[in-house]
Amino acid sequence: ITNLCNQFQHALVRSTSNHDTVHVRRILYDDGRGVGEPLDETVCVDSKCDGLVARGTYYVNVNKLGHGAHWRRTQGQKVYSPFLLGFAHEDESSWKSYSVVKASMMDANYSLPDNVAIITLQSLDDGTALLRLAHLFQAAEDPQYSVMAKVELKKLFGKRTIKELTETNLSANQKKSAMRKLKWRVVGDTESSPAPITGRPVDNQALVVELGPMEIRTFLLKL
Q: What is the reported pLDDT for 157?
A: 92
Residue 108's pLDDT band, with cuts at 50, 70 and 90, is confident
Choosing from 62, 80, 97, the residue where a domain stops is 62
**Domain for residue 210, yes or no?**
yes
Q: For residue 175, list its beta bridge partners.
A: 168
Of the residues 19, 36, 62, the one at which a domain ends? 62
Q: How far is CA 1 from the centre of its chain?
A: 22
**Residues facing residue 168 across a β-bridge:** 175, 218
| DSSP per-residue codes, 64-86 | -TT--HHHHHHHHHHHHS-----
pLDDT tens profile 46-87: 889 888 777 788 888 888 887 888 888 988 888 888 777 766
Task: Domain of residue 27: give its range.
Answer: 2-62
In a domain, 91, yes or no: no
Helix (H, G, I), strand (E, B) or coil at 155: helix
121 and 216 share one domain? yes
With pLDDT > 90 as the criterion, what percentage of the chain qualifies? 33
CA gyration radius, the chain: 24
CA angle 125, 210, 219 (to 5 degrees): 10
User: What are the residues whose beta carbons fall under 8 Å from the beta carbon of 46, sequence distance 6 or more?
Assistant: none
Separation between Cα atoms, residue 170 and residue 120, nearest integer Å: 11
Q: Is the pTM of this model over 0.75?
A: no
